[in-house]
């Protein structure tokens, strides 16, 4: 993979779920604060049932002005819809894509071609159903993806999502729609954004997760991967710059050094000072574990220090310098040293503390 290819487009602070439902009437959401109201079509009589919006013959739509969308739904069947029933739909004016019910608890992503999931078990008729979660995205260029259960890759690193090219219909009309006209579906949650086509690693359902793991943790990984500084560009491969979900010795050793593990270590708001209830100042501690290896420990030590220097300079200049919204307020460095004759791995640790003002409106 070339430098800069495959970098995630983590949602910015101006990109959020602008249509959010948690089982209430879509035409009258519980909150209208930065939250879009849906338009109903159909002759059914939907109602709240068990924390879900139960639908048998209704669709709900909004008309966006943009051309890239994301929608996440949590649903279960009260009675099974007909095979081929369209339950999610997006049209950006030049391309359209649909999610349809398929046989045996599966779903189909239908564009210019069709791809179908395995059995996702929408829990028809169970007393305490576990809703099935589906994320549908459509880019401006017409690439459509369906992420079942918010999973991007399986345990073996294979893609878990479906991808097709959307139908090139050049309709000129735009629409985002969900609902059903056969069977009965309990819609527990529907989250939609007209601000982009985002994977689960780019915009989470929880604004807290987006602000922490994604905008702070995974964004740091992206910045380091995209750097053109000498050591980050030429010495550390993109595949060796990862988020530190697992920083045990055995896991770190699976990636050939030199490597960088980024870990969001701590998030806190000591005073929780809300400005008119809309902004909160939050501190983030981001740790970078720079791992190098060498029979000559001095060379491993110096290489790690040079890589850490590139990391610090890149992050210092590209993050944390906006005093009104995002400030780098502190850093500490821990330099490893050889403690026994057999030690060949050097791990330097850089901790950077940020203070950010976070919007509390998009909840």
Evaluate whether 99 touches 111 at the Cβ level (below 8 Å).
no
Report DSSP state, residue 215: I
CA angle (72, 75, 173) in 5-degree steps? 50
Q: Domain map of the chain by residue range?
A: 19-193, 207-359
Torsion on CA atoms 258, 264, 266, 270, rounded to nearest 10: 130
Beta-carbon contacts of residue 315 (< 8 Å; ≥ 6 apart)? 220, 223, 224, 328, 352
Per-residue model confidence as pLDDT tens for the chain (363 residues): 233 334 568 998 889 999 999 999 999 998 877 789 999 999 999 999 999 999 999 999 999 999 999 999 999 999 999 999 999 999 999 999 999 999 999 999 999 999 999 888 776 555 566 899 999 999 999 999 999 999 998 777 788 899 999 999 877 899 999 999 999 999 999 999 999 999 999 999 999 899 899 989 999 999 999 999 999 999 999 999 999 988 887 777 788 899 999 999 999 887 766 666 677 888 999 999 999 988 889 999 999 999 999 999 999 988 877 766 778 889 999 999 887 766 788 999 999 999 887 777 766
- Which own/partner pairs from 30-39 qualify as long-range (CB within 8 Å, at least 24 positions apart)? 33/361, 34/361, 34/362, 36/62, 36/192, 38/62
Residues constituting the chain: 363
Does the domain at 207-359 match CATH 3.30.2000.10? Answer given as: yes
CA angle (60, 62, 64) in 5-degree steps? 155
The residues pairing with 355 across neighbouring beta strands, listed in sequence order, are 283, 327
Dihedral of CA 197/26/51/186: which sign? negative
Name which of 20, 152, 35 is nearest 74 in CA terms. Answer: 20
Does the domain at 19-193 match CATH 3.40.50.300? Answer given as: no
């Amino acid at each position: 993979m070339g430098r800069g290819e495959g970098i995630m487009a983590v949602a910015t602070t101006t990109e959020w779920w602008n249509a959010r439902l948690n089982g209430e009437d879509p035409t009258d959401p519980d909150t209208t604060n930065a939250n879009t109201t849906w338009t109903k079509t159909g002759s059914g009589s939907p109602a709240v049932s068990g924390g879900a919006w139960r639908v048998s013959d209704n669709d709900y739509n909004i008309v966006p002005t943009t051309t890239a969308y994301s929608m996440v739904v949590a649903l279960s069947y009260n009675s099974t819809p007909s095979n081929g029933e369209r339950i999610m739909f997006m049209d950006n004016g030049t391309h359209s894509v649909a999610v349809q019910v398929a046989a045996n608890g599966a779903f189909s992503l239908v564009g210019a071609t069709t791809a179908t999931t395995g059995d996702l078990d929408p829990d028809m008729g169970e007393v305490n159903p576990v809703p099935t979660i589906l994320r549908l995205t459509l880019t401006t260029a017409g690439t459509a993806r369906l992420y079942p259960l918010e999973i991007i890759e399986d345990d073996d690193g294979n893609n878990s999502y479906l991808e097709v090219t959307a139908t090139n219909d050049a309709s000129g009309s735009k629409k985002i729609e969900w609902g059903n006209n056969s069977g009965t579906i309990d819609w527990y949650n529907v989250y939609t954004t007209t601000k982009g086509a985002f994977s689960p690693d780019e915009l989470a359902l929880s604004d807290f997760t987006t602000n922490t793991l994604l905008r702070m943790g995974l964004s740091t990984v992206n910045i380091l991967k995209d750097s053109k500084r000498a050591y980050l560009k030429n010495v550390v491969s993109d595949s060796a710059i990862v988020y530190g979900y697992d920083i045990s010795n055995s896991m770190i050793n699976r990636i050939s050094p030199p490597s960088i593990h980024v870990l969001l270590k701590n998030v806190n708001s000591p005073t929780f000072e809300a400005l008119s209830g809309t902004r909160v100042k939050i501190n983030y501690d981001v740790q970078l574990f720079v791992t190098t290896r060498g029979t000559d420990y001095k060379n491993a030590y110096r290489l790690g220090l040079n890589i850490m220097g590139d990391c610090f300079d890149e992050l210092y200049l590209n993050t944390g310098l906006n005093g009104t919204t995002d400030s780098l307020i502190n850093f500490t460095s821990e330099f490893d040293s050889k403690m026994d004759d057999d030690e060949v791995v050097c791990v330097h640790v850089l901790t950077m503390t940020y203070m950010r003002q976070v919007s509390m409106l998009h909840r």
